Amino acid sequence: MRTLHRLLLASLLALSPLAVMAEDAPTAEPDVTIRQDGDKTIQEYRLNGFLYAIKITPKGMPPYFLVRADGSQGNFIRSDQPDMLIPSWEIFSW
């Protein structure tokens, strides 16, 4: 009986790190943040905290996506018009 309790305790201790790792594992579902900016609806798609796409839906217009141009910096391009330049400089700041 004592060995049965020891085996049970050992198996529980061996499986406990797996339960903790399963909770911290990255998710396959993206986090979507939806916000309003004037007459536009903006949806930001993040995977493990990394912003990889933005969907912009102007009122009365078809939606379009901005996706990462290089994968690391904040440079985005339109997915339907990849040659269109999107300005990314800051003119004024308070």
What's residue 29's pLDDT?
85
Report the C-alpha gap between 40 and 78 in whole angstroms. 16
More confident call, 88 vs 44: 44
Using one digit for the tens of pLDDT, what is the confidence trace for 13-41? 676 665 555 555 666 788 999 999 999 99
Structural domain boundaries in the chain: 27-78
Using one digit for the tens of pLDDT, what is the confidence trace for 42-81? 999 998 888 888 899 999 999 988 888 776 666 777 777 6
Provide the pLDDT confidence category of residue 6 given band limits of 50, 70 and 90: low
What's residue 86's pLDDT?
59
Overall CATH class of domain 27-78: mainly beta
Report the C-alpha gap between 26 and 31 in whole angstroms. 11
